[in-house]
Amino acid sequence: MQELTHYINGAHVKGTSGRFADVYNPATGEVQAKVPLANAEEMAHAVAIAEAAQPEWAAVNPQRRARVMMKFVDLLNRDMDKLAEALSREHGKTFPDAKGDVQRGLEVVEYCIGAPQLLKGEFTDSAGPGIDMYSMRQALGVTAGITPFNFPAMIPMWMFAPAIACGNAFILKPSERDPSVPLMLAELMEEAGLPKGILQVVNGDKEAVDAILDHPVIQSIGFVGSTPIAEYIYGRGCANGKRVQCFGGAKNHMIIMPDADMDQAADALIGAGYGAAGERCMAISVAVPVGEETADRLVEKLVPRIEALKVGPYTAGNDVDYGPVVTAAAKANILRLVESGVAQGAELVVDGRNFQLQGYEDGFFVGPHLFDRVTKDMDIYKQEIFGPVLSCVRAQTYEEALGLAMDHEYGNGTAIFTRDGDTARDFANRINIGMVGINVPIPVPLAYHTFGGWKKSAFGDLNQHGPDAFKFYTRTKTITSRWPSGIKEGAAFNFKAMD
């Protein structure tokens, strides 16, 4: 059995804590590797190396740092299939979906090639008599990221690419469920020319996370995961004086108006609700048709599409719509929530509870489910299921549908399907959710915009990637400059305007 490592100071390093976690093949249920779980001492060792390496990297001019990103993009394209295969093997998502995971991370790296422009400061000539003012953006020092299992390539790159482009060192603590791709990314970054010690991968669980939160050298922390853990990391990290951005859970609604193209809406819900087995923070898990006739038409369109979904291992290639969920515990939790929906009175229109795949009986496969006539007091509506389960909540009016999305505690993403521009504009303006789609089911912004939710889906005042990332990973320093040749005799002892 393969024993994975940490990646510290440019080398694969065995764990010394004596603790390991199992890494499964979700399609078969078999343990395929062991990953070491770092203790506080191992984390401190990685941080010390990063702290020593970072000043020299920060002194490299932004254009040369950008060239490392350019080379990294070339290497990602070269190894795209290799990375996607490793990702699918540990996560379970289909090969095309795994390539998309890498691609969306690559796009953020491409954006970071613009670091010289994004790091420019401001200058004011003659702010006062002989006085100039200017600002500069400077790296924080050692930064860290704690990333989830569902996007083991994309989200690490969303964090470490801008952090490193800004001149920081970065400690990555990936999910222990699928750690191989982050290790591969660290290797590729050094092949691209990154100095040793600037990007390090330290595997671990809560002990490693707490070591990051409490280490005085680490200046900022990024996190993506569940809301309870996001709240914990945000609170403890901020209490320790760190800059923290945390992204938590989601319950994304898609409102379907009576004038919507129902085939288009149904197709969108299939991809957004069941793609990647529903293990996406931007997955649509709640469909809100407006009016009984709209709901009946929508459900009629959805049922045959759902029943035609092909579930299987990534090795089946393009013949599979989605694969297994990541662990047996994830499967059990999804099925527990499905049972709660039945018990609480929702109508289970498509029942995937007894799904089994011949030859893969021990795999973590979950059949597709569709609930109708779900109400907002049910657990399947209130909780994030993170599985192939779509709930249909019937609304009688547009205002009722809007209120469902606005009143939910999560505010990550939402969408509306309509042909009416006034309705779409009103929805976009009024909805209290961070990312909005108009006839687009999964409105994930491109790399040059920012990604982030509202309410209990996000903690911190800056989003991921785009311009916000360069703000998050730098501090602004403002300089007021006056040269002696322009100073008149006599000292000034009062604080006054410069005019």
Active-site residue list:
281
CA dihedral 335, 287, 441, 156 (to 10 degrees): -30
CA dihedral 382, 387, 389, 390 (to 10 degrees): 70
Distance CA 98, CA 89 (A): 10
Neighbours of 270 (CB within 10 A): 21
CA dihedral 441, 447, 453, 458 (to 10 degrees): 140
How far does Cα 10 stand from its chain's mean position?
A: 26
Q: Say if CB 347 and CB 353 are below 8 A apart.
A: no
Distance CA 9, CA 6 (A): 10
Find the distance separating the first CA and the last CA of the chain, reported in whole Å.
73
Q: Say if CB 370 and CB 306 are below 8 A apart.
A: yes
